[in-house]
Chains A and B, each alone.
Chain A
Amino acid sequence: MSVVIKYDAIVIGGGHNGLTAAAYLARAGKKVLVLERRYVLGGAAVTEEVFPGFKFSVCSYVVSLLKPNIIRELMLPKFGLELLPLESTFTPLDNDYLLRTADKDQTYREISRHSPRDAETYMRFGPLMGQIGMAVRPILETIAPNAIRPSLADLGAMKKLLNHFKTLSDEQFEYLTKLMTMSSADFLDEWFECEPLKATMAASGIIGTFMGPRSPGSAYVMLHHYMGDIDGAFRTWGFQRGGTGAVSMAIARSAKHFGADILTEAPVEKVIVKNGRAVGVVLENGDEYQADKVISGLDPKLSFLKMVDESDLPSDFVTDIKNFRIRGSSGKVNLALDGLPNFTSLPGDGPHLRGAISISPSYDYLEKAYDDAKYGNFSQEPYMDIIFPSVIDPGMAPPGKHVMSCFVQYAPYDIKGGWNNKKREDFGDSVVNAIARFAPNIKDIIIHRQVLTPADLESTFGLTEGNIFHGELSLQQLFILRPAAKWANYKTPIKNYYQCGSGTHPGGGITGSPGEMAGKKILRDW
């Protein structure tokens, strides 16, 4: 039988952006329903007990970019937001290492060991990137105007941005231009000489992107990762107590506090479109919900090629969405451990295990990893960003045991021969081998291993092609072009159908920003 209930707004997908949009709408007094396909909320920002006693931030694993105003406006600390600092970045090398910590003197001294000149430059580089981040933020915090057919409001927004650009210093302009156009390797070469330092910094320019450190455009992705701040300190990263799922749960609790209804295990089959207007949704079980507005937190491919019929959309828009680049480039390996790995270059369970561990010894290492992927293979020696959540938050694993989160790149979605069980395990083996190169005991302490390929990310989390950002952060699909020209303001060609996922401006990461701005835009249009 089919039940018909009427809401002001329905959000498809209980990921952190969908929840954020729902919270903003509920906060404004709207009757909101969130429909989540899985048994658990959070989308890719989810914590699951994959093996008994071992909790994993299964996909997304660190927090930096969550917008401070969202934290305030949705009162997230009250609902469980607890961000612990990630204090350091450790880059193991074969006979040495590079360890950057939160302390300026320590970091200066450590980089000096590799290059005294870089140690000095590094002290100037951080503040400069902070300045560039400040220069970009107003763009990220503006609802992308329709620059092709601007309304008066769009012109107003563009004027405001132009005025902001007038206030930038020459230095901010110069480096902003460079960051928008260069490869992260070329950009960092202008500053530094120490390979592991450059490679580790450049690595943030390839995360979630089908590019190598030497690919033009990667510098922007690096900047995207630099823009976060915690408590006003730029480019700091944190770990949510209880995993990233706890961030989503905090947003969900906030949404409920404001009166939103949230249903899990409620997969939406289709958006109901009548006369070019969205009027509700129908679930896979046949239940129908009516609403004045329907908002999709899914990626653009699912929002427009699955949730609605192509015939309801203009064909040029469908073409744009089909061309939207969403190539998956990464996998995730989650390990349950009997102890901690012992890094050959820096043995013992020191503070270096409380931070990020970056397997990025050199540009060549990263670029070679990319080369494998270019031709349809996973990297034999992959780039990895590793954390030990249980070292930061002991609650993530049973006493004395540990969990290890490995973000792994590259693992192309379009792998030769397609992904299958054997290939998944081979990929897992190459990851463990790459860790063992720097911490040989890893093989002896693994209790369980969860390997997620891009195909798994797609099937389990609904990330098309396994792309963690709902679409690459490349210039041709950012800001006024995300996900398509004329439709970057959270609206869609279907009236009352909106989008609020990472595939919209300003893009991926646990920012809450697309959800917030979509929510605010919808309220403005109401």
Chain B
Amino acid sequence: MSYGNQFKAHTQLKLSPFFERTSKLNESQEWRRWSGYLAATNYELTHENEYFAIRTKAALLDITPLYKYIIEGPDAQRFLNRMVTRNIGICKVGQVMYTPWCDENGKQIDDGTVQRLSNHKFRITSAEPNLEWIEYNAAGMDLSILDDSYATAALAIQGPNSRTILNAVTSDILNNLKFFWMMETRFGDIPVSISRTGYTGDLGYEIWMDSKDALSVWDLLMDKGKPFGITPTGLQALDMARIEAGLILLDVDYISSRHAIVESRKSSPYELGLGWAVKIKKKYFIGKRALEAELARGSEWEFVGIDIQWTELENHYRKVGLAPGLPGTAWRTSTPLYKGNEQVGYATSGCWSPILKRYIALAHVKSEYAQSGSTLDFELKVEHYRKVTPAIVVKTPFFDPERKRSCP
């Protein structure tokens, strides 16, 4: 007896509302998972054009898989101020704040942006689902929580031409929209929100829209952006850009304290280079006491950029008769860093930066070895043999163009 293949469980990966377009454009058919969605690794067979679109033209990225929550109500500000480390009290309507948030022990759970949509309405984005944490901490407060992850589609348009393209599409001119601010506008008759934010460290914007408008928005941007080099861009190019910008990635550069299993896997914002985002003078926020104590005694770890030195790297390869082996894409393998015979840290992601012509990486380094300018030994494999090569601790971002913040 046979019933044919009627099996209809919800077992596939989620498809973004842009999938109808992105799936046809993805020549490489290379996909990664991002929060249970199918997300393009690269659209072309190599990622290079997409990377350079971010830095020299305009890249269009589907960022729908981000988790998004709407927090609305009289207590929304009070709640968010309690949850995150930045001061939401001074966040004006139309402003966006990047912020980490922590558990009671001051260990980081996630990081994302808080958008103030109106006096009592906020949107918070995150890398992992945080609904449970939000609900748990909002107990007894006068607010509503809406998981907006699927209903709101999102695109990022990043690169020097992104403003020009948006100006050609929107009913308003974006010239006065400042870095980390947002505005409500329209693409023809489609309402969208545009925030001047992104994950590339370049001039760029993120567009938030109702999922049902996703395809129209995509088509408009692709059409008007064509003369300015708009390029659908995948995660491989994005990964390089975010490393150049010194932006951390959950589950790659750090592990959420909610999922860390062992204590040593957890990091505080201070240990992730986000001390600037911890407003320790704030009256109360989750993790404040532990972070005060950490501030007083000094953090055990720091999160730094390292610059892997070219001459020595080249020599390693020359000795075996090869040209310097540089990674073509960003890597995410934890790589040891030594001082003498002692391991004093580990790099968590790195890449060759084609725009900077430097081999860069992001790394956790024990505080006493983490001063800018100090030299560490970076482990690498040259023709199957382990070697070490010097790497210098540097400040991030590695790449920080003036256009990122400036207005015309």
Contacts and interface: CB of A to CB of B under 8 A. Distances in A.
Interface residues of A, number: 34
Contact of B131 (A113, A117, A349): A117
B148 to A, nearest CB: 12
Instruction: Determine chain B's interface SS by DSSP, over half rule.
Output: loop
B2 A339 contact: yes
A100 to B, nearest CB: 11
Contact of A117 (B11, B14, B36, B132): B132
Contact of A99 (B11, B14, B131, B263): B11
B86 to A, nearest CB: 23
B164 to A, nearest CB: 37
B9 A352 contact: yes
Interface string A107-134: 0111001001101110110010011000
Nearest to A120: B132
A120 B8 contact: no
Contact of B9 (A99, A116, A444): A99
Interface string B4-25: 1111111101100000000000
Contact of A351 (B1, B7, B14): B7
A131 B8 CA distance: 35
A342 B3 contact: yes
Given A120-B129, A351-B7, A108 B36 contact: yes
B147 interface: yes
A230 interface: no
A507 B2 CA distance: 42
A344 to B, nearest CB: 11
Contacts of A350: 5, 7, 9
Contacts of A121: 132
B11 A351 contact: yes
Interface string B200-242: 0000000000000000000000000000000000000000000
B381 interface: no
Contact of B129 (A97, A119, A351, A441): A119
A420 interface: no
A320 interface: no
A348 B11 contact: no
Contact of A105 (B3, B36, B147, B258): B36
Interface in B161-219: none
B9 A346 contact: yes
Contact of A127 (B5, B132, B135, B261): B261
A305 to B, nearest CB: 46
B365 to A, nearest CB: 26
A32 B11 CA distance: 52
Nearest to B132: A120
B259 interface: yes
A459 interface: no
Given A105-B33, A109-B36, A113-B10, A120 B1 contact: no
A124 B260 CA distance: 9
A133 to B, nearest CB: 12
B259 A123 contact: yes
B49 to A, nearest CB: 29
A117 B135 contact: yes
A433 interface: no
B1 A339 contact: yes
Contacts of A48: none
Interface in B285-315: none
Contacts of A108: 36, 129
Interface in B17-62: 33, 35-36
A348 B10 contact: no
A169 interface: yes
A105 B65 CA distance: 12
A109 B8 contact: no
A349 B3 contact: yes
Contacts of A97: 9
A97 B261 CA distance: 30
Contact of B261 (A99, A131, A346): A131
Contact of A110 (B5, B10, B33): B10
A460 interface: no
A139 interface: no
Contact of A169 (B5, B33, B263): B263
A101 interface: yes
A109 B129 CA distance: 11
A106 B11 contact: yes
19 contacts: A99-B9, A105-B33, A105-B35, A110-B11, A116-B131, A116-B147, A117-B135, A130-B261, A339-B1, A339-B2, A340-B3, A346-B7, A347-B8, A348-B4, A348-B7, A349-B3, A349-B5, A351-B7, A441-B1
**Shortest beta-carbon contacts, A-B, top 8:** A350-B7, A339-B1, A348-B7, A348-B6, A105-B36, A120-B132, A347-B6, A120-B129
Interface of B: 1-11, 13-14, 33, 35-36, 129-133, 135, 147, 258-259, 261, 263
Given A105-B36, A106-B36, A117-B132, 6 more contacts: A101-B11, A105-B33, A109-B36, A110-B9, A110-B10, A346-B9
Interface of A: 97, 99, 101, 105-106, 108-110, 113, 116-117, 119-121, 123-124, 127, 130-131, 169, 338-340, 342, 346-352, 441, 444-445
